[in-house]
A and B are shown apart, each in its own frame.
Chain A
Amino acid sequence: MTVISSNKDVERLTLTFVAEFDAPVDRVWQVWADPRKLERWWGPPTWPATFERFEFEPGGQVRYYMTGPGGEKSHGWWTITAIDAPHRIEFDDGFADDNGDPVDPKDITHGVVTLEPNGSGTRMTSVSTFISAEQLERMSAMGMEEGLRLAMEQIETVLKD
């Protein structure tokens, strides 16, 4: 796996993340389409995800929760807004209450993921758009400390060079 680029647009609250994988598009599509595979990578390392409802079709509803280091659960939901298998999925991702119901259906992160063949491998582009800085903060609260720690450790690596 190679991270090709990662582009942050602070004004538009958008992260564009591009990575390449050594597997054909059909197989990379399966890590999105198969919930048992999806839950192995969706949650941040300290917040593994469990998908309870998974309607992988346009308009489909997805319900999941992530379990934090202290056993606390954070529920989330997706509405899949578009699918073009095996190349494109678009979805809204938001916070849910303990019953799995959306806390605020308008409070969403919109995700667009595209898979393109690249030689014998696949290029995956993920564009995440947040609706507000507050929402970005809540969304990254899980795994955020880890992310910040890693981002800062990179500074340390630079210093040691």
Chain B
Amino acid sequence: MVVGALSGPATDRVFHALADATRRDILIRVIRSGQSVSELARHYPMSFAAVQKHVAVLERAELVSKTRRGREQIVNGEVGALRRVALLLDAYEEIWRHRAGRIADILDEE
């Protein structure tokens, strides 16, 4: 996993940020495309303030950044180009792990 390449306090902040399912979910959404905090808040059974706190933890870990659009704050996935490619390759690797698992299932059935 690409975040493992970091070290020191920055790593601790990244691991802490990603140790929560809601924060992982938020990060996955904003890596695809930037979203406002209120857009994000619609996906979770919690208050706007609670979502804002989660975003703040991700921000401290430098996994997301916020920009202003009118009255709204847009949350963006903060991943450099190479890191982004590494994440995408990670995702593609998972697709292959699933594929290999299902091939094994098919071979076992025969």
What's the dominant secondary structure at chain B's contact region? helix
**With A1-B103, A10-B85, A41-B106 as given contacts, are A148 and B96 in contact (CB-CB < 8 Å)?**
no
State the Cβ distance, A71 to closest chain B Cβ, in Å: 20
Q: Which of A21, A42, A128, A156 interacts with B92 by CB under 8 Å?
A: A128
Q: Is the interface of A mostly helix, strand, loop or mixed?
A: helix
Given A22-B107, A31-B103, A149-B24, also A156-B91 (CB < 8 A): no
Known: A15-B92, A128-B92. A28 touches B28 (CB 8 A): no
The size of the chain A interface, using a CB distance under 8 A, is: 45
- B99 surroundings in chain A (CB, below 8 A): 41-42
Interface residues of B (CB under 8 A from A): 1, 3, 15, 18-19, 24-25, 27-28, 31-32, 81-82, 84-104, 106-108, 110
Write the residues of chain A forming the contact surface with B, with a CB cutoff of 8 angstroms: 1, 3, 6, 8, 10, 13, 15, 17, 19, 21-23, 27-28, 31, 37, 40-42, 44-45, 124, 126, 128, 133, 136-137, 139-141, 143-156, 159
14 A-B residue pairings within 8 Å (CB atoms): A17-B97, A21-B107, A37-B106, A42-B99, A44-B98, A133-B85, A140-B92, A143-B94, A144-B32, A147-B90, A147-B92, A149-B28, A152-B1, A152-B24
